[in-house]
Copies of this chain bind each other. A is one copy, B any other.
Amino acid sequence: MAPEQCKFLNMILRLGAVMFLLPILVFAGTQPDGNGVSPINVMPLPASRQVTPGRLKLDASSTVAVNGYSDARLERAIARMLQRLRRRTGLVLPLTVNVGANQSAALIVSVKEGLATYPKFGEDESYSLVINGGSATLQANTTLGAMRGLETFFQLVSGDADGYYVPFVNIQDKPRFGWRGLMIDVGRHFEPVDVIKHNLDGTAMVKMNVFHWHLSDDQGFRIESKKYPKLQEKGSNGQYYTQEQVREVIEYAADRGVRVVPEFDMPGHTTAWMPGYPELASLPGPYEIETRWGVFDPTMDPTKEETYEFLDNFIGEMAALFPDEYFHIGGDENNGKQWRANPQIQEFMKAHNFHTTAELQTYFNQRILKIVQKYGKKMVGWDEILTPDLPKETVVQSWRGYKSLDKSAREGYNAIWSTDYYLDHMGPAEYHYLSDPLPADADLTSEQASHVVGGEVCMWSEFVSEENIDSRIWPRTAAVAERFWSPRDVNNVADMYRRLDVMSVWLEQAGLQHLSSTNRMLRQISGTENLGPLGTLGRIASPEGAGTREKMNHHGTPSTQLVPLVKPVDAVVPDPPYRRQFAALVDALLSDAPKFVAGSDELARNFQQWRDLGPGFAALIARAPVLDTAGGRVALLQQLGNGGLEALQYLHSRKSAPADWKAAQLELVKQAEKPDPSLLKLPWLGSYRALVLAAADAAAAKSGNAHEWKQRVIDEAAKDEPKQKYTW
C-alpha cells in the first residue's frame, strides 16, 4: 500500500461523528427572513414572525392558564400539547390547566369564543402568540385558532445548556387557504382505524384541517351501510369501518380541528358496490370485487330511477352520519364502455339528445346533486364534474392541471388543487412544495383567485398498506401543509427541508411509523435484526412511482390487491434524506476544488459500503427469496461504489479520468436510472453523475477558476438529468 493511500485511509477513520452534524443547505430559493434561514423551526412557517432577543424559561413549575372563555376541547388540546412537551423534555410539567387569569402561568391562552365542536370550512383559525416577558400569550378568536397556536408554541420550544425555553417572538398567524386537506384512499387498500387516527394527529400537527376519506372504489367498499348491508358484506372482504368507528374517527378529527369529508366515487369506480347490488350496474352481473389496478368498466346505470332511489337512501344515510357540510361524489374516470354496450342506455341518450357519455354523466351528476342538496350538503367532485349548470356552491377538486383549476375559479366555483400532490408518484417533498394552488403568475382576477380555496394531498393506495402508508404520507405532506398555510413567498427549499427534518421527528409523536417502518419491514422479510447490506439499501434507495410501477408490472407478475406489499420497494421511503446528504457531500467536495478534501472521507466510506454489498446481500437472498429482484440493483451499486472510489482518486491526483472511463461511468448511471424489476430507484444519481463529470475534468480545476469549474460540471450534469414526472 502506498503511503498516500494509507494517509487517505487514515482520514476515513477519523470521521467519527462529523457527518450527522453536516448542515444540509444545498438548494437555492428565495429567502423567507432575509438570510435564507427562518429563525424558528416552525412548520408551517407563521404568516408573520419576529424573533427578538430574550427567552422564556420552561421548567417543572411552568403552567398553562386559560384566561376567559374555555371549553373541554381547548383543555384537551392543551393537555395533549403538554403531554408531548413532557415526552420531549422530560420535564414534570403540570398537566392540569388553570382556568381564569393567572399571571404566573408560563402560557396564557385567551380565546374569544369556542364555536361548535365540529369545525366549519372558513372558520377563523388565526391566532397571535407573543412571548416577551414572564409569560407567553396566545390569543385567538376561536378554539380552533388556539389549537393552531398551541402547535406553534410546542414547536418553538428549544433547549440549550441552560435548559428548555421558548424564544421571545411576536407571531401573528393565519392560514393562506381555508381548505387544507389530506385524502386517503381506503378503497384499494384498507387502513385500520388506528392508522387513520395517527394520520389525523399528524394532519393537525401541520395545521391541516380536512381529512378527505375516499371510502369506496372498484377494489373495496369500506363503510357499513345499515340500509344496504350487502355493500360492505360483499364489497369489502370484511375490511370496512362500522358506523360506530366512523363516528369515533369524526369525533377524533373534530377534537383536533379537522373536518371529515367522505367520498363515494360515482358513477364509475364502483365495481365493489356491484357484488351486493348488481342491479346498480349498467350491464347484468354477477360482479366481483376488482383486484387489479386501473380504470374498469362497471358503472352505475344513470338511466334507471331505481339507481336514484338507492342513492337517495344511501346518501341520506351517509349524510346523517357525516356532519360536514360537504359531500364528495367523486365523478372521475368513467370510461363509458358499459353505457355504450347497453342498448337501453343508448336509447336513453338518444331520447335526451346526449351525444357523448360525458353528457350522460352530467345528467347523472345533476341528479346526484339534487339528492346531496336534499340532505343539506354541498357537493364536491373531481374536476370531471365541472359542467354547465353546476351550482356555484360546488367545490371542484382539480387533479388534471391548472387549466381545470383556473376554469373552476373563473366560473366562480371554489376550487382545490391536487394535481401536483399525488403522493403515490413518490416525488420529493420539494416537488410538491413548489407547486402553488395560486401561483404568482396565475391568470385570474383577485375575485377569481379568491375561489382557489386550498388543496389536498392525495394518498392513492394501489401500493400502500397499513405497514407503509405513514412513510408515503409523511413527512412530505408537512411540506405541502406549509404551502397551504404560509404566505406564497415562503418557498426556500433548503429552509423547508431543514425544518421538515425536525418536523418529521415531532410527527412520530402522533404514533406515525414513517421513520421506523423501513427497517421493520426489512427485518420481517429477512428474518434478522442485523440488516447489514439491506439496511444500506433501505437508507439510500427510494420506490419508483405508481406509474412506473404499473408499467413494470405489466412485464412480469401483475401487481394486484392480493400481492403482499412487503418487498424492498415497499419498505424504502420516497425522498430519503440520503439524497440530500449525498448531494451535500458531492457539493462540498466540488466546492473544495482543487483540493477536494471536504466531504471526501465520508464519500469514500459510502462508496466502500456500496462496493462491499455483494457477499452480505448474497447471504440474505440465499435465505429470503423474496429479496431476489433486488439483486440487480445491488450489483449496480457495487459498480457505482467502485466508480465513486475511482472518481475520488482522479480528483485527488488532479488528473482527469480518461474518456473511456467517463463513458463507461455515464453508461452505468444511465442504466441505473432505468427502472428495473426491483422497482428500487437511486434518487441521488444526478449527484453521482456530477462526480463522474468532475473526475473526467479534474485537471482543469485550478485555484483561480474553482467556482466556474464547479458550475460547468454541475450544469453539464443537470443537462443529462432525466426529467421526472410526478403526476398522472
Contacts and interface: CB of A to CB of B under 8 A. Distances in A.
A524 B508 contact: yes
B21 A616 contact: yes
Nearest to A237: B95
Contacts of A7: 1
Contact of A529 (B17, B504, B608): B504
Contact of A623 (B159, B515, B516): B159
A288 interface: no
Interface in A148-184: 158-164
Contacts of A164: 625
Contacts of A530: 19-21
A1 B9 CA distance: 11
A501 B13 CA distance: 30
A10 interface: yes
A497 to B, nearest CB: 12
A704 interface: no
Which of A3, A20, A21, A513 is the most central at the interface, judged by chain B CB atoms within 10 Å of its CB? A20
21 contacts: A1-B10, A6-B6, A9-B9, A16-B608, A16-B613, A17-B533, A17-B616, A19-B532, A20-B530, A20-B532, A21-B532, A87-B467, A88-B626, A89-B525, A89-B626, A92-B562, A92-B563, A162-B625, A505-B524, A508-B520, A516-B520
A378 to B, nearest CB: 36
A515 B508 CA distance: 16
B159 A626 contact: yes
A703 to B, nearest CB: 28
Contact of A10 (B9, B19, B531, B533): B9
A509 interface: yes
Interface in A392-432: none
A527 B160 contact: no
A515 B523 contact: yes
Contacts of A88: 524-525, 527, 566, 626
Contacts of A609: 16
Nearest to A523: B505
A663 interface: no
A86 interface: yes
A316 interface: no
Contacts of A617: 17
A173 B298 CA distance: 52
A408 B526 CA distance: 46
Interface of A: 1, 3, 6-7, 9-10, 12-14, 16-21, 86-92, 158-164, 194, 467, 501-502, 504-506, 508-509, 513, 515-516, 519-520, 523-525, 527-533, 562-564, 566-567, 577, 608-609, 612-613, 615-617, 619, 621-626
A494 to B, nearest CB: 17
B615 A17 contact: yes
A87 B159 contact: no
A523 B621 CA distance: 31
Contact of A160 (B16, B525, B532, B623): B623
Nearest to A84: B524
Nearest to A613: B17
Question: Which 8 residue pairs across A and B have the least CB separation, nearest first?
Answer: A17-B616, A16-B612, A20-B530, A20-B532, A6-B6, A90-B626, A516-B516, A86-B564
Contact of A528 (B505, B533, B616): B505
Contacts of A525: 88-90
Contacts of A563: 90, 92
Contacts of A562: 92
A501 B529 contact: yes
Contacts of A504: 529
A541 to B, nearest CB: 17
A17 B532 CA distance: 6
A390 to B, nearest CB: 43
A569 to B, nearest CB: 11
A267 B218 CA distance: 60
Contacts of A506: 527
A170 to B, nearest CB: 23
A501 B523 CA distance: 11
A509 B533 contact: no
Nearest to A41: B527
Contacts of A161: 621-622, 625
A528 B516 contact: no
